């Protein structure tokens, strides 16, 4: 079991998870997002391979169009 802080909210997951799997679990697949892990931006090209660890602090920002 790992615990992640996502936008200030603690969430638990039953096993290790990668950034891409987290995005899918949160329902952000196909959306334009930026993700910061422990103060560093995770490049979109690394989403599929970047593992997350117990205690990681994530900030997820979803781009919203408008005018």
Q: What is the pTM of this model?
A: 0.86
Q: Residue 67 has what pLDDT? A: 63
Q: Residue 48 has what pLDDT? A: 94
Give the list of residues 6+ apart from residue 5 with CB closer than 8 angstroms, or none. Answer: 11, 55, 56, 57, 58
DSSP structure class, residue 8: T
- Residues 8-63: tens digit of each pLDDT: 999 999 988 999 999 999 999 888 999 999 999 999 999 999 999 999 999 999 88
d(CA 63, CA 16): 27
Q: Write out the two tokens for 62.
A: 């979803």
In order of start, what are the domains of the chain with their CATH numbers? Answer: 2-62 (3.10.20.30)
């Amino acid at each position: 079991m790992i615990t992640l802080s996502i936008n200030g909210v603690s969430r638990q997951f039953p096993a290790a998870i990668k950034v891409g799997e987290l995005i899918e679990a949160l329902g952000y697949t196909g959306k334009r997002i930026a993700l910061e892990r422990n103060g560093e931006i995770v490049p979109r090209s690394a989403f599929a391979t970047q593992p997350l660890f117990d205690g990681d602090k994530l900030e997820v920002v979803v781009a919203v169009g408008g005018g």
